[in-house]
Chains A and B, each alone.
Chain A
């Protein structure tokens, strides 16, 4: 990991990787959503609304993955003081918040025709809403902290503490059996019929690759801004 601590070495890899991840992600999303919208049958119980699954599940996964990225990078920043870790954590925040919001909105749209309500203070929905607010707080904190080491440490500690909410989201459907359905996709299999399931891995992988491309773009932005700031400071002091 410390091989990439040098921004020049990191950028040499990040530049071609951004385009590759972006384009392959976009193509997989097109295939997944095309299949989900036009090639799969309607569900016998939910009807056409089941198609919301192909965007809602990847959004939920990325909403949580974004905070996993923040927590992992914060840990690396605090323990190993990896110079790019704090940059990576900040770069994950806005994309993660975007997908947490998309998850909440698409879930609400799915809930209206399926459950008969836009919102319910159910364990899964509430813990996801808490995650969205945690993102907003992290973004505000990271902006206010700036690039000073002390401020970055506070943001990193907040990133680690906020990760406590991730297992709460994951296990909420087991702990509080309320409105949200239980886990339908696990590591060993799925309770979703294969005729409906096949576009989901395509769209989930596609959105994940695009998310990674956006994180790289945001890391490159922060590195370029830091470089400009440092150069202007040096010029002003001469």
Chain B
């Protein structure tokens, strides 16, 4: 296995791991902010 053949596999694996992690973190953060903003808004209307 030469370095030229190996790097596309390494890049693909890192792309999936980093991309998957970013999607997970951003989606969780957006959902949390939305849910907490909704709850805070209801508190204000009390």
Contact = CB atoms under 8 A, between A and B. Distances in A.
B29 A217 contact: yes
Contact of B31 (A98, A112, A113, A221): A221
SS class of chain B's interface: helix, strand, loop or mixed?
A: helix
A105 B16 contact: yes
A173 B6 CA distance: 26
Contacts of A37: 10, 14
Given A220-B35, A224-B38, A98 B16 contact: no
A109 B20 contact: no
Contacts, number: 102
Contacts of A225: 35, 39
B10 A221 contact: no
Given A47-B1, A94-B24, A95-B24, A106 B32 contact: no
Given A105-B16, A110-B9, A214-B28, A220 B2 contact: no
A52 B13 contact: yes
Interface string B13-27: 110111011001100
Contacts of A105: 13, 16
Interface in A36-50: 37, 42, 46-49
A33 interface: yes
Given A55-B17, A220-B36, A228-B38, 17 more contacts: A29-B21, A49-B9, A51-B10, A52-B9, A55-B13, A55-B14, A55-B18, A98-B24, A99-B20, A102-B16, A207-B21, A217-B28, A221-B36, A224-B35, A224-B38, A227-B39, A228-B39
